[in-house]
Structure 1
Amino acid sequence: MSAVQRVAIAGAGIAGLASAILLAEDGVEVDVYEIKPELSALGSGITLQGNALRSFARLGIWDEVQAKCWSSDRLGLRAPGPDAPVIAVIPDAKTGGPDFPAAAGMYRPDLAQIMLDRATSLGARVHYGIVVDALTQDADGVDLTLSDGSTARVDLLIGADGLNSAVRTMIGIDVKPEPTGMGIWRAFVPRPKEVTHTDLYYGGPMYIAGYCPTSDAMMYAYLVEDKQDRTAVTPEQAIEIMRESSRAYGGPWEQIRESLGADSRVNYTWFTSHLIDGPWNRGRVVLIGDAAHSCPPTIAQGGAQAAEDALVLCDILARATAVDDAGWDEFTRRRLDRARTIVEASLQLGQWQLDHVQGDVPGLMGRIAALTSVPA
């Protein structure tokens, strides 16, 4: 029997819904509170490494994900210029093991819907437009005040409410995401038939120009630049900025430029990073996913690490007979160093680019692949 019988989860992203799936599967009563008024996911696509796909199998959603994603075992490197010459096509590390592709691209809302359907089919309740406004706790549970005026008492509160976590503030952890110096444009566009795997272009006016297929018909494309204040940019201007910023890149980028339009969901965000360097819980409130740690997507581990947080936390809860220090110590031991290594490696890759130095990228990527190939 699980150490908890009733759990509240703040946030319906990957970390929150993964936790809801695992807890509900174990017979726990689960309520998920999501600030958005309906299911949605920022951006266009997400790159999922093999260790994320392995986690999805444990969540019981790999078949559905596989049917909706575009997977590949290769990574292409191209140079800027009108011909976009291919420098290399290299095997990508299969960090999920031999039963899974090395990586997959997926439309974010499709992944969100699959996870939501799985959670609710197991009995989890998801409440949209409602957040945790306040909390108090004692040795036996957590009392919640919700934004709709209702209250609840639970055995555990999981703060999976993202980068700017309100739960993190409520429990007195003063750690916030800090900009790394880069910003990224993303767009959702038709997939040119020649694009069968992720390609990364290094050099030219952008730090990275890349794209990742997400289905037979679509892919997402991105440009990484020095961070800028783009808050006043209109949707029309955003499209034009992506077009102009990508002119140094040929090959499939020629078609990408032509296809950019109002339906491309162009968006811009800064790369940020943070890590709670110590226990992620305060009493019976615990933070996971982007609430506890975040990093730029330079090694595409954000979604994978969010899912791993949930798997480790719920594994501990399922084996425990009580919510106690022994469980929290195990959670910290299994997650903190792994997350720190991912964050630091992601930052290092970006910093080499910001500093315009040639770092040991193959060595760094090899170390991360070796780490993530071992289940959390």
Structure 2
Amino acid sequence: MAAVENVLVVGGGIAGAATATLLADAGVSVELVEITPDVTALGSGITLQGNALRVLRQLGVLDECLEHGYAADQLVLRAPDPDATVVARLTEHRTGGPDLPASMGMYRPDLARILMARAEQAGVKIRFSTTVQELEQDDSGVDVRFSDGSTGRYDLVVGADGLRSWTRRLLDVPLETRAVGMGIWRVFAPRPAEVVSSEAIYGGPCYIAGYTPTSGSSLYAFLVEDAQDRTTITDEEKVAVVRGLAGAYGGPWREILASISDPGAINYTWFEEHLLDAPWHRGRVLLIGDAAHTCPPTLAQGAALGLEDASVLAELLTAADAVDDDLLVSFAERRLPRVREVVEASVQLARWQLAHEQGDVPALMGRIAHLTSRPA
């Protein structure tokens, strides 16, 4: 018997949907609230490393994700010259195990839709346009008042509501989210036929100019610059800026550049980082995913860390007889060292690039690959 009978998950992103599904599969009554009115996902594309694919397989959605996404085992590095000369073809480590691809690119909205549909199939009660307004708890549970005026009582509340977590604010948990110093343009575009894996160019007007296939016909391209305030930029300016940056690169970028015209296919965010020290809970309310930790996408581990949180939490809750402080402490103690190492490594890569410093990138990436190859 699981340690909980009913659980509220706040946030329908990757970590929230995965947590809800795994607990519902174990017989727990799960309710999930999502503040947006429908299944949504910020950004155009996402890279999922092997350790993320391992959890997608656990969730039973890996095959569907592979049908919609684009798996690869190689990273191509090109020079910032007019021909984008290939300088290296690197075989990526299969951190999910030898039977899984090294990585997979996906259109973010496809992944969000698949995960939420799986949660619904598992019996999760999903409520959109709703979030938590108030939390009151005692030793046996949490009383919740929602934004629509309804109420409920739960054995455990899981705050998986992202970087700016409202659950974290309700708990009055102090956490400083720091800008790393880089901003990233992401563009959803058609895939040139020659692009069959992730590729990256270091140098030129951007720190990194790269792209990752997200399906047989699409990719997301990214351009990393110094972080700037782009909040007031018009749609026309957005397209012009991205085309200007992309125009400095050759090779497949020429074909990608020709397709960049829709401002709706472009988004811009800053690299940010934070890491909550243990414990990650207050009473019977627990924070996971970006609500507890976030890192720049230099190692493409953000989604994987959230999926691992979900897997470990479900494992602990379904193996215990009751929820207590020791159980929730053990969750953070198990996750924190691994998460800290990934977050710090991701930030270190960004800092080397900002300083134009030649750090030992192969050693750092090898260390993280070895770490994430071990099941969480």
User: Same fold, TM exceeding 0.5?
Assistant: yes
2:212 is matched with: 212
* Contact 2:278–2:329 (CA under 8 A) maintained in structure 1: no
* 1:190 Cα deviation from its structure 2 partner: 0.2
Taking the TM superposition and a 5 Å limit, the aligned residue runs for 1:299-314 are: 299-314=299-314
1:22 is matched with: 22
Structure 1: 5+ residue stretches without partners: none
SS of the residue corresponding to residue 278 of structure 2 reads coil
1:33 is matched with: 33
Structure 2: 5+ residue stretches without partners: none
* 1:263 Cα deviation from its structure 2 partner: 6.5
SS of the residue corresponding to residue 31 of structure 1 reads strand
* 1:62 Cα deviation from its structure 2 partner: 0.9
Aligned equivalents of 1:228, 1:44: Cα separation in 2 = 20
Taking the TM superposition and a 5 Å limit, the aligned residue runs for 1:199-278 are: 199-262=199-262, 265-278=265-278
Aligned equivalents of 1:222, 1:260: Cα separation in 2 = 12
* 1:355 Cα deviation from its structure 2 partner: 0.7
2:188 is matched with: 188
Aligned equivalents of 2:332, 2:187: Cα separation in 1 = 37
* Contact 1:55–1:307 (CA under 8 A) maintained in structure 2: yes
Aligned equivalents of 2:60, 2:106: Cα separation in 1 = 17
- Residue deviations 1:76-100, cap 9 Å, x none? 1011121000110010010000110
* 1:272 Cα deviation from its structure 2 partner: 0.3
Aligned equivalents of 1:173, 1:336: Cα separation in 2 = 17
* Contact 1:188–1:266 (CA under 8 A) maintained in structure 2: yes
1:342 is matched with: 342
Runs of 4+ aligned structure 1 residues displaced above 2 Å come to: none
* 1:332 Cα deviation from its structure 2 partner: 1.7
* Contact 2:183–2:271 (CA under 8 A) maintained in structure 1: yes
2:298 is matched with: 298
Aligned equivalents of 2:11, 2:196: Cα separation in 1 = 34
Aligned equivalents of 1:264, 1:212: Cα separation in 2 = 19
SS of the residue corresponding to residue 98 of structure 2 reads coil
Aligned equivalents of 2:122, 2:203: Cα separation in 1 = 48
* Contact 2:345–2:364 (CA under 8 A) maintained in structure 1: yes
- Residue deviations 1:1-39, cap 9 Å, x none? 111111111100000000010011011111111010111
- Residue deviations 1:345-368, cap 9 Å, x none? 000000000111100000000000
* Contact 1:164–1:176 (CA under 8 A) maintained in structure 2: no
Moved more, 176-185 or 207-216: 176-185
2:149 is matched with: 149
Aligned equivalents of 1:247, 1:64: Cα separation in 2 = 35
- Residue deviations 1:56-80, cap 9 Å, x none? 0111111111111100000010111
Aligned equivalents of 2:238, 2:303: Cα separation in 1 = 26
* Contact 1:235–1:266 (CA under 8 A) maintained in structure 2: no
* Contact 2:235–2:263 (CA under 8 A) maintained in structure 1: no
Aligned equivalents of 2:18, 2:186: Cα separation in 1 = 25
* Contact 1:14–1:306 (CA under 8 A) maintained in structure 2: yes
SS of the residue corresponding to residue 212 of structure 2 reads strand
* Contact 1:207–1:225 (CA under 8 A) maintained in structure 2: yes
Equivalent position amino acid for 1:48 in 2: L
Aligned equivalents of 2:325, 2:138: Cα separation in 1 = 14
* 1:264 Cα deviation from its structure 2 partner: 5.5
1:120 is matched with: 120
Taking the TM superposition and a 5 Å limit, the aligned residue runs for 1:92-103 are: 92-103=92-103
CA-atom RMSD in angstroms: 0.8
* Contact 2:32–2:124 (CA under 8 A) maintained in structure 1: yes
